[in-house]
């Protein structure tokens, strides 16, 4: 492949509806890796929940986790971490309480839900990202507006601003694109040499950053509009088929 780095989102992209990797996807990823192409898994997941996927693929590659808040080397060494300042953690915690919004909080120490005792009141944790969710669209909309007004946070809305399904809250200036850019500098790879494949709104920046941004056929319209190409549906092993096509083109 003339492409030097392949950045792959997980849920709705590389993984099927059961969170597994199809054999076609796995084979193509392994073939790209064996060819000398850098493969990077890029996900909103906590890095601990990404490790079993590496075991399934049978390769050791870098990981960008929690929407770009952490970068891990292929050997499992932490290369970069961005954390939420404590005052912003307090703000998110207060808003969740005031507006009856549930959250899933990601920190270096693990992942905690609002129903658990270990929650955002724990000052000694290194908080990375908070996923806000509620069955009440108006509560999430109010929380979004108040968080946006701080000017200190990176927010990703899933659904629409008027009817959000959930919101990712993370440190300002973080995201998959930012982390991918950092990793490219570490590896001395130009953005023009990057292929990125994803399916959701947290992938938009990454798709635009890459020399070739590819959205899955199952992606929302605005995500597909941000891409250069569209891959087959994730349930049809779209990632594997796309990688195979790119490799054929490189050797034609």
Does residue 143 contact residue 116 with C-beta atoms inside 8 Å?
A: no
* pTM of the shown model: 0.94
Q: Write down the residue that tokens 């808003």 correspond to.
A: 95
E strands present in 134-173:
153-159, 164-171
The share of the chain scoring above pLDDT 90, in percent, equals 75
The answer to whether residues 46 and 102 belong to one domain is no
The tally of domains found in the chain comes to 2
pLDDT at 114: 77
| Residue where a domain stops, chosen among 148, 171, 194 | 171
The answer to whether residues 42 and 156 belong to one domain is no
- Which stretch of DSSP H or E encloses residue 65? strand 63-65
For residue 86, what are its two tokens? Answer: 């404590």
pLDDT digits (tens, 9 = 90+) for 134-170: 877 788 888 899 999 999 999 999 987 677 889 999 9
The answer to whether residues 75 and 125 belong to one domain is no
The answer to whether residues 210 and 182 belong to one domain is yes
The answer to whether residues 57 and 128 belong to one domain is no
**What is the pLDDT averaged over residues 15-44?**
97
| Residue where a domain stops, chosen among 142, 171, 200 | 171
pLDDT digits (tens, 9 = 90+) for 89-109: 888 888 888 888 888 999 998
The answer to whether residues 90 and 167 belong to one domain is yes
Is pLDDT above 80 for 116?
A: no
Q: Write down the residue that tokens 């944790």 correspond to.
A: 125
Domain of 29, in residue numbers: 5-81+174-251
Q: Which residues contact 19 (CB under 8 A, 6 or more apart)?
A: 11
The answer to whether residues 115 and 143 belong to one domain is yes
């Amino acid at each position: 492949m003339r492409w030097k780095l392949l950045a792959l989102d997980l849920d709705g992209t590389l993984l099927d509806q059961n969170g597994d990797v199809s054999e076609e996807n796995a084979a193509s990823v392994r073939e790209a890796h064996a060819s000398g192409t850098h493969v990077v898994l890029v996900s909103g997941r906590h890095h601990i929940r990404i490790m079993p996927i590496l075991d399934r693929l049978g390769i050791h590659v870098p990981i960008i986790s929690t929407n770009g808040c952490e970068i891990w080397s292929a050997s499992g060494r932490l290369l970069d971490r961005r954390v939420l300042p404590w005052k912003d953690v307090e703000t998110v915690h207060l808003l969740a309480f005031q507006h009856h919004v549930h959250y899933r909080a990601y920190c270096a120490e693990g992942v905690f839900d609002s129903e658990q005792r270990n929650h955002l009141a724990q000052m000694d944790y290194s908080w990375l990202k908070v996923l806000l969710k509620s069955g009440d669209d108006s509560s999430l909309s109010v929380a979004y507006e108040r968080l946006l007004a701080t000017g200190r946070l990176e927010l990703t809305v899933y659904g629409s601003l008027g009817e959000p399904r959930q919101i990712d809250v993370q440190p300002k200036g973080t995201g998959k694109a930012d982390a991918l850019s950092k990793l490219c500098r570490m590896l001395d790879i130009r953005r023009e040499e990057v292929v990125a494949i994803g399916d959701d709104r947290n992938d938009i920046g990454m798709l635009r950053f890459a020399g070739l941004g590819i959205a899955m056929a199952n992606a929302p319209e605005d995500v597909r509009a941000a891409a250069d190409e569209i891959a087959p549906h994730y349930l049809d092993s779209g990632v594997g088929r796309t990688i195979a096509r790119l490799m054929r083109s490189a050797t034609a």
